Structure 1
Amino acid sequence: MEHEGQDAVAEPAGKRGWLALAVLVLPSLLLAMDITALLLALPRLSADLGASGTEQLWISDAYGFMVAGFVIAMGTLGDRIGRRRLLFAGAGAFAVLSVVAAYAPDPGTLIAARALLGVAGATLVPSTLALITNIFRDERERGKAIAIWATCQFAGGAFGPVLAGLLLQRFWWGSVFLAAVPVMALVLVAGPFLLPEFRDRTAGRVDKLSVGLSLGAVLPMVYGMKQLALADGGGGVVPVAAIAAGAAVGAVFVRRQLRLDHPLLDLRLLRGRAFSAVLVSLVLAGVAMAGTGLMATQYLQGVLGYSPLASAVLFAPMGLGVAAGTMAAPALAKRLRPATAIASGLALSAAGCVPLAVSDGLAAVITGVTVLALGTGPLFALGTGLVVGSVPPERAGSAASMSETGNYLGGSLGLAVIGVVGASVYQARMDSVAGPAAKTLAGAVAAAGDLPSGPAEELLRSAHAAFTAGLHVTGAIAAAIFAGLAVLVAASARGTARTAAPAAAGEAEPRHAAV
């Protein structure tokens, strides 16, 4: 059965709809697990393939770069050619490319496979989210479905290292990639029986120039942000130039979208205060979470001395906290207005940052990131539902791609900006030390290995204190971000309530879910 985007009377999805949801959450669960699982497999595959440091970076980053670059185009493409068709194409390509990656004979082949996996992955998230929006027309059912979808995403990220650890104990590193094959096969087998097709027959052709401009805007900016995060505060001309170039192309992209009758990304949706407030919150929450996550994981390894695997397991409460928050969101929405639930959650996240800002030690870090993550659950569940529910069904893919692009950009920006801030604090506290130890904690650890025990202990003590100071500063920044977002969401909801009768502006004015 194919639907052409008509807005029908909301009816319960029924048993078929919930079975369809079970199929749709599988790709999201797998993609989240795949990203975190690779972090544990990287040392072994690098040794087997003889990958250099630069090649290791591209093995881990090529996937994310391509997802970020193509998610806009894929979300809108699904609106035009059909979301189920695009989902099946992406799932099939992902399965084949996972086999290629698992048996890659050299780093170049693996990097190419990872890049193409990113293109395939870019089809999956907006397609699944748009299909969920189309299948679940009842607002409450849709809220529950999106909460389950978001929960699987974050739970997958938390359990990815556990899966990788189990696989790597018994099999070679390629097994981490092969885990995707049966999941995608299940989607391809069950999908035709459970997933209806949705597309917008009134949409025009995909504007190829807009696709090129979107890639030219997103890819350089994500690359520049990643490089700044890796520069440990050193910056550099190339990352800054890449960000500036991406921003310039982005400005051209925005102007073109506002002039087209059928834009690749409908930026006119941002005219809605609730829509724009939630989208800004998704971006900046990604900044705060990625930045604090980076500093906290480095603290666990570099200061407290835990292994990468142990650090990954200890850090799992962040993903599980978000998962718990997203699952609780529909129940909160029954008692509170969605905007109130989101703002309250963000205020809780701000409180969770306090232990990171004022204390240290394992208990403070785990407590802080868990509470921080728990508070973001309503934003990711209810906020995502608001974004995709604020548009007619035929434009759900475009709205989903806007949400996902915001998440990717927010995460990249957080790694870059907050990572640089933390490095700057470290360097300011270590200004009396010469050499690599003055630049990074890893440099201090390496330098201590060449010193007698007394000076080595003193150097490490100073380096640990300096890095902990950086963690405190980034915790304070994250607290300020979350507190500001709580105020923004609450204020936008009050503004929407005061102007509850929207002007009839046809296509230019989005529909708004109740906030």
Structure 2
Amino acid sequence: MTAAAAPADAPRRAGRREWIGLAVLALPAMLIAMDMTVLYLAVPQLSADLAPDSSQLLWILDVYGFLVAGCLITMGTIGDRIGRRRLLLIGAAAFGTASVLAAWSNTAELLIVTRALLGVAGATLMPSTLALIRSMFPDPGQRTAAIAVWMTSFTVGMTLGPLVGGAVLERWWWGAVFLLAVPPMILLLVAGPVLLPEHRDPAPGRLDLVSAALSIVATIAFVYGVKEIAKDGAGAVPFAALALGVALGVVFARRQRRLADPMLDLKLFSDRAFSASLGTLTLTLFAMSGVFFFLSQYMQMVLGLTPFQAGLWTLPQAGAMVVVAALTPALVQSVRPAYVMAGGLVIGAIGFLLFLGLDGSDDLWLLVTGSVVLSIGVGPMTIMGVDMIVGAAPPERAGAASAISETNQEFGMAIGVAVLGSVGTAVYRSTLQDTLPAGVPAEAAEAARDTLGGALETAAALPGAAGPQLLAAARQAFTQGLHVNTVIAAVLVLLAAALVAGLLRQVTPRNADETAETAKSATAATAARPDGTEAGPSGDAAGPVEVAERGDTVETAAGQPAGGRTTRAETV
């Protein structure tokens, strides 16, 4: 009797339909990653066609990211309420439509509006895909593998963005980069209803519109302030935006504590695995984004590569991430995840330190090597961090947990670029001030000290030997700033490794979890009720179930089948 009951109480394992559905879910992740990078290549053609002023051009580039970050928590919560598949399909239709409108925008104002619509639609895709993965793969080992595939698709999208965008722009007009999104969205709309199950919170409560507005405005204000500081330095407007974002964030958090049905369940943060994974993942992305911000400029403005060539040299890094994604789920079957993540982060720190060998000469091989080592090192942290964040939340809160993960990653990357970008820029300006060649006019020297791009333009206009001398000094100063950033990043990643090893060491390998779960299920089976439901700690039936359509197993809040029975739930 015990042996027969254990399989019924074990987490349901995904079958062929779920794995094919995962391939469909990987499309939005890859697409959004591509959309973050591909537009930058189209700026020259776009500027010539629409003639936006400097402010409009900045909004064309940034409004998408602002709206994605601002709407993630709201959209994740809405997905928990109306159904994650439903929200995903609505978002796919909106994203495809907005992409077509953006492609044929004939004014800068219209392009800003369509980019904003793309941001809102994009915010529906990421938490929906991750929450559906949480629901489709209740088995922890399979879920880790699924999230690894999902993370890999995002990395591949970031890599393919410049390559695909460059190839498209060589043959068609700038609007064609937006049309790249249309075929994947059509495929998602066709295959999604067939391959993806519907999941939602069965008792979500009322959506608090005030909380939604607070979260959107607070996030947009904070991200705007951070990005403005990263681009233009400290100023009254960016600091006012930061202050507004923090103030509204505090109001939002206090409101969640008072609501009977909060939009964001702050109790999630009391889970050590959730909070520790969230914090260390943010710290890691903070370090990576600040260094990669400088590396992309180093490849193009120091080594002289075109954007397309720079994209080609990121392929080894993407390949390393694919290998790590394949190995990590198997590795955590027998080794504690904390040790896998911490050991990887130590390797990542070594990758950062390899960049100290960059000297502005023919050292592309060292940059590629360091990037590959870095990807191998941080890969387990990014995969297992997201896995623990999503896995720590009950299934009915999977959308909100996914949105928290995505929002925190946006914050980590934005702040990393702002803080480390400012540090690197300060080092660049200080170093160039000390090494500025004689004979450079004061106005030209000021432009050169502002940015490396300004130094390149200034050097090209100077007569005689002053131009090449200024160019060499500026490149060396920029490399010095990159070195300082890599040291800071290495220290931060080592700190993250120590935090992971200390805070998550109680998380056992997957095989040990499965053995313990089997023993627990066997014991619980002896207390089963006559009607087949499992008795809870107080003798009550295990409660609340998450609605799942299309004949899928109805899951309890712990992500396990309710009484081992398969039920066809009514569509809400």
For the criterion TM > 0.5, the same-fold answer is yes
Q: Which runs of 5+ in 1 are unaligned?
A: 1-6
Deviations 1:23-67 (A, max 9, x none): 111111111122222221222122222122322221121111100
Q: How does 1:3-402 map to 2 (within 5 A)?
A: 9-231=10-232, 234-360=233-359, 361-402=363-404
- Shift in Å at residue 316 of structure 1? 4.0
Deviation larger for 244-253 or 309-318 = 309-318
Deviation larger for 300-309 or 401-410 = 300-309
From the superposition, tell whether residues 496 and 27 of structure 1 become closer, same or farther in structure 2 (CA, over 3 Å). closer
Give 1:4's aligned residue: none
From the superposition, tell whether residues 49 and 418 of structure 1 become closer, same or farther in structure 2 (CA, over 3 Å). same
Counterpart contact for 1:297–1:315, Cα < 8 Å:
no
Counterpart contact for 1:437–1:443, Cα < 8 Å:
yes
- Shift in Å at residue 93 of structure 1? 0.5
Give 1:440's aligned residue: 451
Counterpart contact for 1:322–1:375, Cα < 8 Å:
no
Counterpart contact for 1:347–1:486, Cα < 8 Å:
yes
Deviations 1:174-205 (A, max 9, x none): 22111111111111111111111111121111
Query: Which among 477, 480, 491 is matched to residue 480 of structure 1?
Result: 491
Query: Which whole-Å CA distance do the structure 1 matches of 2:144 and 2:296 have between them?
Result: 32
SS of aligned partner of 2:203: coil
Query: Which whole-Å CA distance do the structure 1 matches of 2:11 and 2:210 have between them?
Result: 37
Deviation larger for 459-468 or 68-77 = 459-468
Q: Which runs of 5+ in 2 are unaligned?
A: 1-7, 437-444, 517-536, 538-542, 545-556, 561-572
SS of aligned partner of 2:461: coil
Counterpart contact for 1:75–1:401, Cα < 8 Å:
yes
Query: Which whole-Å CA distance do the structure 1 matches of 2:325 and 2:57 have between them?
Result: 34
- Shift in Å at residue 450 of structure 1? 2.7
Deviations 1:204-263 (A, max 9, x none): 1111111111112111111111111112xx322211221122111111112222332322
Query: Which whole-Å CA distance do the structure 1 matches of 2:317 and 2:190 have between them?
Result: 33
- Shift in Å at residue 458 of structure 1? 1.8
Counterpart contact for 1:323–1:377, Cα < 8 Å:
no
Q: Rg bigger for which structure?
A: 2
Deviation larger for 92-101 or 324-333 = 324-333
Give 2:529's aligned residue: none
- Shift in Å at residue 290 of structure 1? 1.1
From the superposition, tell whether residues 512 and 285 of structure 1 become closer, same or farther in structure 2 (CA, over 3 Å). farther
- Shift in Å at residue 512 of structure 1? 12
Letter paired with 2:120: V
Give 2:551's aligned residue: none
Counterpart contact for 2:339–2:505, Cα < 8 Å:
no
Query: Which whole-Å CA distance do the structure 2 matches of 1:317 and 1:255 have between them?
Result: 46
Letter paired with 1:123: T
Give 1:492's aligned residue: 503
Give 2:480's aligned residue: 469
Letter paired with 1:415: V
Query: Which whole-Å CA distance do the structure 1 matches of 2:484 and 2:108 have between them?
Result: 38
Query: Which whole-Å CA distance do the structure 2 matches of 1:477 and 1:512 have between them?
Result: 40
Deviations 1:489-509 (A, max 9, x none): 000023678xx99xx9x99xx
SS of aligned partner of 2:393: coil
- Shift in Å at residue 154 of structure 1? 0.7
Tell me the percent identity. 47
- Shift in Å at residue 292 of structure 1? 0.7
Counterpart contact for 1:391–1:512, Cα < 8 Å:
no
Deviations 1:450-492 (A, max 9, x none): 3223122221222111111100000001101110000000000
Query: Which whole-Å CA distance do the structure 1 matches of 2:507 and 2:312 have between them?
Result: 42
Deviations 1:426-452 (A, max 9, x none): 111123554211222122222212322
Counterpart contact for 2:338–2:505, Cα < 8 Å:
no
Counterpart contact for 1:326–1:378, Cα < 8 Å:
yes
Query: Which whole-Å CA distance do the structure 2 matches of 1:512 and 1:243 have between them?
Result: 38
What do you get for the CA RMSD once the two structures are aligned? 2.3
Counterpart contact for 1:430–1:438, Cα < 8 Å:
yes
Counterpart contact for 1:69–1:219, Cα < 8 Å:
yes
Counterpart contact for 1:357–1:474, Cα < 8 Å:
no
Deviation larger for 183-192 or 332-341 = 332-341
Query: Which whole-Å CA distance do the structure 1 matches of 2:404 and 2:90 have between them?
Result: 21
Letter paired with 1:286: L
Letter paired with 1:392: P
Counterpart contact for 1:131–1:198, Cα < 8 Å:
yes
